[in-house]
Amino acid sequence: MKKIQIYDSTLRDGAQGQGVSFSVSDKIRIVDALDSFGIDYIEAGFPASNPKDEEFFREMKSKKLSHAKLCAFGRTLKYATEPENDPALASLIASGAPVLCIFGKTSVLHIREVLGITKEENLELVKKTVEYLKQFAEEVVFDAEHFYAGYNENREYAIEVLNTAKNAGADVLCLCDTNGETMPYEAYEITKIVCEKFSDTRISVHFHNDTGCAVANSILAVKAGAVQIQGTFLGFGERCGNADLSVIMPNLKFKYGIDFPCDMRRLKKTAIQISEISNVGIRSNKPYIGRNAFHHKAGMHIDAVKKHSASFEHIDPSLVGNERQFLLSEISGRHTLLERVREIIPSAEKDSPELMLALEALKEKEFFGYHYEAAEASLNLLLKKTLCKYTPHFDVLLYKTTDDYPSGTGGMTSGAMIQIKVGDKTEVSASLGNGPVNALDTALRRALCVFYPQVSEMRLADFKVRVIDSGTSTAAKVRVLIESTDGVENWTTVGVSHDIIEACFTALVDSFEYKLSNS
């Protein structure tokens, strides 16, 4: 099996994505997750760009990683400056990172228009920078910025830049598709040429996703001879993002038999950890790790998968830490529902009254507007209630919401009061919130915490509202989906009503009930 190295840039390139901002503690937690997963290189920041990254590297000096090598990122020497007088290079060295990555220009256009220097002067910057940093680092990675575009402009010069970096002591030459413009056939052909010219040097690749080809380009680059892949774990980054390692790694492992030390059975778990810390959601249809990646809905598909899983699954979902799920809907078939009923009543058969009860309840709810294929937690509760196998953990005696305009203290626009009953005890709670749903959520949580402290672990992860019958204007029925998490598990619940507050509250109650039933 061919072996490659995985180089993660989530904490540097990923941090350039819109809405992404890491604290020092966030970065350390992500480093721990990546290191535990088995990533080879973690590019963790650009110390010359901000004090936060400098603080992070200071903190990391006392921390030992079990597998990964920490990498600090920077630029080549500033023009007309000696290396020992360049503050950016000084901050790289001060980081203490064993691997230093510097980017330098390979595009004649950028050298002339951006740096405003000659090609020869650019080569001198690359040479001096690599030679100087090599004295202070175990490894130096040279990121050949805009390499593929530069190669198409002036291939002789682009290769000359790589030669200069190699001869100066660079351990890795990284070919960067900085604009994300390279097409797959170019990625393969150009990378192959470079790998043949530099057969005694590690060649890395770094693709951006501006044309949607970053994953394909990375895989083809490996087929062309590259031995290191740079990317971000979930693909987020500047503009359209970076090559998505969570897709590249399983493709290389399971489709091409390429080896690397990452524990692929922890792929989804690691992705969720990074998603939570980064506050970047994972698409439900994301390959391998998405919630829907191994979900089946059509009755014929479900029947085929049960007989032979490979009929509609390209790999065993457990290989990446995911799981198979059969979605219930009007096209799923009675056999699928029977499987769910048997989870509650193992003796149920295809003609048993329990199945008929469950089928009628599902049809009634779906006729009203409920859809359970994206709300497994609510479906679980519905079946248990229908089959008399569930006792509620609490009863809501009443709830009330109010709205004020203009907003009151601290921007809180709404208030909620709720009374619940647990056994023979009642609890009343009230709260302000940024809107009635937030106020209801907070008030219900406070009341429940009196009896069930574990609900304090929960938080809202996603919230969606859809108008079902828009033709009735403001009297339309709405469907609300609420995704909740306790940091370990995510679950989704649904509520439907002509009253949007009632629909939200129904989904909220189900969310808390599901948590309590699984605690």
Average pLDDT for runs of 10 along the chain of length 519 = 89 90 91 96 90 92 94 93 93 95 95 93 97 97 97 97 98 97 97 97 97 97 97 95 97 92 92 87 89 71 68 85 69 66 81 83 84 82 89 94 70 86 94 89 94 91 80 77 87 91 94 90
- 494's enclosing H/E stretch is strand 490-497
Instruction: Name every residue whose Cβ is closer than 8 Å to that of residue 61 and which is 6 or more positions away in sequence.
Output: 96
Distance between CA atoms of residues 309 and 313, nearest Å: 6
- Name the token pair of 473: 């204007």
pLDDT given at position 308:
65
Instruction: Name every residue whose Cβ is closer than 8 Å to that of residue 249 and which is 6 or more positions away in sequence.
Output: 6, 260, 262, 264, 267
In this structure, which amino acid lies at residue 177? D
424, with CB counted inside 10 A (0-12, 13-18, 19+), is exposed
119, with CB counted inside 10 A (0-12, 13-18, 19+), is middle
Cβ proximity of 65 and 35 under 8 Å: yes
Question: Can you give the pTM of this predicted structure?
Answer: 0.71
Q: Tell me whether the omega of the peptide bond preceding residue 353 falls within 30 degrees of 0, making it cis.
A: no
Distance between CA atoms of residues 72 and 312, nearest Å: 43
Beta bridge partners of 482: 463, 493
Cβ proximity of 10 and 232 under 8 Å: yes
- 363's enclosing H/E stretch is helix 353-368
Helices (H) and strands (E) in the chain, counts: 17, 16
Distance between CA atoms of residues 120 and 306, nearest Å: 65
Shortest CA distance to 46 belongs to which of 32, 35, 57, 31?
A: 57
DSSP single-letter state for residue 242? B
Residue whose tokens read 């204007």 = 473
Right CATH number for 5-262 from 3.90.76.10, 3.20.20.70, 3.30.460.80, 3.40.50.300?
3.20.20.70
Measured over the CA atoms of residue 15, residue 16, residue 21 and residue 24, the dihedral's sign is positive
Degrees, nearest 5: CA angle 506-509-514? 125
According to DSSP, the β-strands at 478-485 and 459-467 are: antiparallel
Q: List, as one string, the DSSP characters of 2-60.
A: -B-EEEE-TTTTGGGSTT----HHHHHHHHHHHHHHT-SEEE---TTT-HHHHHHHHHH
pLDDT given at position 403:
83
Q: Within 69-179, where are the H helices?
A: 87-94, 108-110, 119-134, 147-153, 155-167
Distance between CA atoms of residues 204 and 226, nearest Å: 6
pLDDT given at position 331:
46
Domain spans of the chain, in order of start: 5-262, 295-369
pLDDT given at position 58:
93
HSE toward the beta carbon, residue 287, CA cutoff 13 A: 12
Gyration radius of the chain over CA positions: 28
